Amino acid sequence: MQYKVEGSRDKSSDDEQDIDELSFTELRDKLIAIDPLNKHHIVKVNQVEAEFWKKSEGYRVGWSDEILGFDCGGQQWVSETCFPAGKLAKPSMKDLEYIEELKKLIEKEEIPAPAPIEQRWTASTWSPLSPASSPSEDDIFSWVGIIMYLPTMDARQRKDITEEFFHYRHLTQAKLWDDYSAYEHWAKIETDRGGAESELNENVNIEYGPKPKTWKVYTRKRKKHDVAKNHLKA
């Protein structure tokens, strides 16, 4: 599939050579940048990406940091949530149901959602501040990440993409999070979006109860300048 920007008919062969030298993620950014909020355009880019991954299938053996590491691409907005998915011996299938509901939401709301929707699974942890915290070692959790790329330095376009991403994120929160007991990854929480901060504080307090307060007391004892704390964990 080929894309051409209006007015690019007279591009030189040097430019074409540059395109040939781009990595997959760099080329994806250039394609998305053509019309990042056009749902139909993003669908076409997603189809091309799916074909790329299909042609890249194979097997490789190596160290975990070599195998698990990958190129995420350029600047991007990400929201990742975690929710219980049953027991190791008896999965609840909520992980697959969540993805199906998310796809339906994207289609219904006509969200220009680029690929991928990232999904992974982990065992439970005893760490009380993790959204995957559980005293049962048999519990499993699924993590789902949504994304929008910022493939341009144009301030207006970046602002529009940012607003669309937070609309996307808000829809997932309103329609899915409560039904699946999903909570956002602490490292992915953003608070500079109008009135979102008080809502996030409330969600953190509901999920973790007195744990953030305990963490605050602990860090004050151990860290002179509270470097391991922020206002969402207070």
Identify the CATH number of the domain in which residue 171 sits: 3.30.70.2520
Is the CB of residue 83 less than 8 Å from the CB of residue 183?
yes
Is the CB of residue 183 less than 8 Å from the CB of residue 108?
no
- Tell me, yes or no, whether 177 lies in a domain: yes
Q: How far apart are CA 127 and CA 125, in angstroms?
A: 5
- Tell me, yes or no, whether 41 lies in a domain: no
User: What does the DSSP 8-state code read for residue 3?
Assistant: -
H or E, element range at 145: strand 139-149
pLDDT in tens, the chain (234 residues): 333 334 444 444 445 557 888 889 999 999 999 999 999 999 999 999 999 999 988 888 988 887 777 667 789 999 999 999 999 999 999 999 999 999 999 999 999 999 999 999 999 998 877 889 899 999 999 999 999 999 999 999 999 999 999 999 999 999 999 999 998 886 656 555 555 555 555 555 555 555 555 655 555 665 655 555 565 555
- Tell me, yes or no, whether 104 lies in a domain: yes
Q: How many domains does the chain have?
A: 1
Cα 100 versus chain centre, distance: 16
User: What range does the domain containing 118 cover?
Assistant: 74-215
Which pLDDT does position 1 carry in this prediction? 38
Beta strands in 57-107 (DSSP E): 76-87
